[in-house]
Structure 1
Amino acid sequence: MAAMRGSFEEGYRLLPQYCEQIKRTNPGSIASVYGNPTDSCFQRLFISFQASIYGFLNACRPLLGLDRTFLKSKYLGPLLLATGFDGDGALFPLAFGVVDEESDDNWMWFLSELHNLLEINTENMPRLTIFSDRQKGIVNGVEANFPTAFHGFCMRHLSESFRKEFNNTMLVNLLWEAAHALTVIEFEAKILEIEEISQVAAF
């Protein structure tokens, strides 16, 4: 594989040239790679293609999902993602980053790059709604870089946390019913039902 495709190490060495090629062949794209100041080893990569930026700002709702997944190659590390939704509700990639480790500092950096990207490309950046899991690094990064954004939490992650913490199917079902409530009265009624089972879960 290394003979055919090159080694992982060579691939990392070529990242600065790759970023320059992205910016040259896709004007308006953002592509930058950073090394660790102490040993110059790979630390961070951020990429957003111009077509994605234009499409998000001109054809997508001001809604962004933040998530990460973990790479499975020789050099492991998290892939950080910012994803919009197009008119059909399909996922629309806006930006991605690769970092050496998942940390509060790396999420703060990624969200700062994301904020700069949106601010550069529109004078009137729309008021965003951002949703994510409740990870501390993301919460702090959103508060620092998008202070006017609405920040909601993914119900799938929230219900899984609920299930693990309370081990009660009825509580999980009531949580979903509260999330689907169409009025404040319906929502508060479901919260009261949760409180009757567990005050800790209600708060």
Structure 2
Amino acid sequence: MEDIRKNPDVKGKELNQILFQRYGLYMKQSTLYKMKQYVINEIFGGHDKSYRKLPAYVKVMHETNPESAAFCALTDIGHPQRSLQFSSIFISFAAQIKGFVDGCRSLIGVDGTHLKGNYGGILLSAIALDGNNEIFPIAYAIVSVEDTQKWSFFFWHLYNLVKDSGRTDWTIISDRQKGVDIALKDVWPSANRRYCCRHLSRNFKRVFPVPLMYILFWRAANATNPYTFKKAMERLRKEGKTPVMKWFAEIGKQNKWTKHKFDSSICCDSNTSNLLWRVSTRHWVWTGAYMF
């Protein structure tokens, strides 16, 4: 039990090695994982117990760390024995807020990932870069689905963290999905927008699978001056004709994806959301499962 308490991510193979070293026996992988899940539930409690404690967790956060932002939303489902059901939660600790506002660049990367477990859900996260280009987690939220309404919930709370900071040059970078754009327009219309070119390049490659077109796409996306961008686009027009130019026109303004049009006041020309991928999704998932 203590081995699993120290490392809930321990693999079945490692548990078998521990069993053999101590007791000289092996167990089936399926049996080991059932045992591991039982021990995790005994140590940390099940997900149902954790979700029931969320309102109390938010209350304790406000009492012990009053400058933190923590909000838990419940939905009335009209059940006679259980009238309230968890809907969403947003969390950003005071140290994260202060560190972000005082020491990070104005580029915010946002993304959503599916949670594992019996209840599922979506983990929304916001990450920034500090002055040394190191990742700096800002906030996260757990919601039921990834749609415009939930992104609005997330951006509304995120905006409230920075609205009194005196800084206005905020830029949001993520993949190109309608929910994010609509939500930003509704609750944070002053925020600038960037699209992750890694996601754009995948969509581009599906439509134009020729390797040369892929190379030219990145040449245009990474162009740091108008001349380089113009030459790349001329070559793209020559190779792809009207369809490729129509594809780029549908993306929107150039300042959302090509470096030479980015706002220089941000002091960061990143056009991918790699800063989010560098944060271990698995770490966030375990945190969401056991911190409550």
TM-score, normalised to structure 1's length?
0.92
Determine the C-alpha separation between the residues in 2 that align with 1:125 and 1:70.
32
Number of the residue aligned with 1:202: 245
DSSP-derived class of the 2:161 partner: helix
Written as runs of structure 1 = structure 2, the 5 A alignment for 1:145-184 is: 145-184=187-226
Number of the residue aligned with 2:173: 131
Query: If you compute each CA radius of gyration, which structure gives the higher value, 1 or 2?
Result: 2
1:188 alignment partner, one of 230, 242, 248: 230
Determine the C-alpha separation between the residues in 2 that align with 1:143 and 1:174.
31
Give the AA of the match of 2:185. E
Number of the residue aligned with 1:2: 41
Written as runs of structure 1 = structure 2, the 5 A alignment for 1:89-128 is: 89-119=133-163, 121-122=164-165, 124-128=166-170
Give the AA of the match of 2:190. T
Q: Relative to structure 2, which stretch is displaced further, 83-92 or 185-194?
A: 185-194
Determine the C-alpha separation between the residues in 2 that align with 1:201 and 1:108.
33
Give the AA of the match of 2:143. V
Q: CA deviation at 1:192?
A: 1.8
1:46 alignment partner, one of 90, 94, 97: 90
Provide structure 2 residue ranges, at least 5 long, that are not aligned to the other structure: 1-39, 79-83, 247-292
Give the AA of the match of 1:201. V
Determine the C-alpha separation between the residues in 2 that align with 1:126 and 1:56.
14
Give the AA of the match of 1:4. I
DSSP-derived class of the 2:162 partner: helix
Give the AA of the match of 2:113. T
Number of the residue aligned with 1:17: 56
1:125-174 Cα distance to aligned partner (Å, 9 max, x none) = 33112111101011112222332222010111111111123222221211
Cα RMSD between the aligned structures? 1.5
Determine the C-alpha separation between the residues in 2 that align with 1:24 and 1:53.
17
Determine the C-alpha separation between the residues in 2 that align with 1:96 and 1:139.
19
Give the AA of the match of 1:140. I
Structure whose residues are more often strand by fraction: 1
TM-score, normalised to structure 2's length?
0.65
1:32 counterpart = 2:71: yes
Q: Relative to structure 2, which stretch is displaced further, 99-108 or 164-173?
A: 164-173
Number of the residue aligned with 1:74: 118
Q: Percent identity?
A: 34
Provide structure 1 residue ranges, at least 5 long, that are not aligned to the other structure: none
Q: How many residues align?
A: 201
1:15-46 Cα distance to aligned partner (Å, 9 max, x none) = 00111112222220011111123352211110
RCO higher in 1 or 2 (8 Å CA, sep ≥ 6)? 2
1:176-197 Cα distance to aligned partner (Å, 9 max, x none) = 1011212112212211211222
